[in-house]
């Protein structure tokens, strides 16, 4: 009987594949993306990193983790730009993948088909606990999936959800610690915790 160790080595005739790093806010997604891209530089592989132009929380042209580690990135508004600007790279990194449209799935598929290693980091669920943008389809496309966890600010358990703590119901609200907390399933609610009683009743 084959043994199962929790990790698999994918053997293919071409190097191209898709890796997805997924989790809630403050789970270390961007930190892991930066770590993997830096390792490719040690291996002398050419790489390029992209971020959505919406994300200007720490820097307009850097991917920055909450621990303040950073790496140079290109801000773009759409997935096709990622494809056109990745032709000379062996490794393509994409942060905050949930902000892109569904065409990102096809772009990643094409890049991997051309032999490139594609590494994405993104929120798997939005503040309502629903699948976020193209993320479920990217997870289905990926050869490798790395789920990361934060710490629940209420009870200390593994956190898998992003609790919105400002009174807004927009799906996309780019924010830092002033807008979100990491919560476990038991401590999380799909209503902004500062919402008024009337708004909570409607939800």
Residue 119 predicted with pLDDT over 60:
yes
Residue 60 predicted with pLDDT over 70:
no
pLDDT at 55: 75
* 43 — pLDDT class (breaks 50, 70, 90): very high
Q: Name the pairing type of β-strands 70-72 and 62-64.
A: antiparallel
Distance CA 15, CA 90 (A): 9
CB 42 within 8 Å of CB 166: no
Residue 171 predicted with pLDDT over 70:
no
Q: Among all residues, which ones are annotated catalytic?
A: 96
pLDDT in tens, 88-102: 999 999 999 999 999
If residue 91 lies in a helix (H) or strand (E), which one and from where to where? strand 91-94
Domains of the chain in start order, with CATH, are 17-148 (3.40.50.300)
For 179, list phi and psi in degrees, rounded to 5.
Answer: -115, -20
Distance CA 148, CA 146 (A): 6
**Looking at residues 152-161, what average pLDDT do you find?**
97
How far separated are the first and last CA of the chain, in Å rounded?
A: 51
What does 158-179 look like in DSSP terms, one character per residue?
Answer: EE-EEEE-SS---S-----TTT
Residue 195 predicted with pLDDT over 90:
no
CB 168 within 8 Å of CB 194: no
């Amino acid at each position: 009987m084959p043994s199962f160790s929790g990790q698999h080595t994918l053997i293919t005739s071409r190097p191209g594949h898709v890796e997805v790093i997924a989790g809630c806010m403050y789970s270390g997604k961007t930190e892991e993306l930066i770590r993997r891209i830096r390792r490719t530089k040690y291996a002398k592989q050419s790489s390029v990193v992209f971020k959505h132009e919406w994300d200007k929380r720490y820097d307009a042209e850097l991917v920055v983790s909450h621990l303040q580690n950073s790496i140079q990135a290109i801000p773009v508004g759409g997935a096709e730009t990622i494809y056109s600007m990745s032709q000379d790279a062996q490794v393509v990194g994409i942060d905050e993948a949930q902000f892109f449209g569904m065409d990102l799935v096809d772009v990643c598929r094409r890049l991997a088909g051309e032999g490139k290693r594609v590494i994405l980091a993104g929120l798997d669920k939005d503040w309502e606990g629903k699948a976020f943008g193209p993320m479920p389809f990217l997870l289905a496309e990926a050869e490798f999936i790395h789920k990361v966890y934060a710490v629940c600010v209420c009870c200390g358990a593994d956190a898998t959800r992003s609790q919105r703590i400002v009174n807004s119901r927009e799906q996309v609200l780019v924010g830092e610690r002033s807008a979100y907390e990491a919560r476990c399933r038991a401590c999380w609610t799909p209503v902004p915790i500062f919402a008024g009683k009337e708004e909570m009743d409607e939800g």
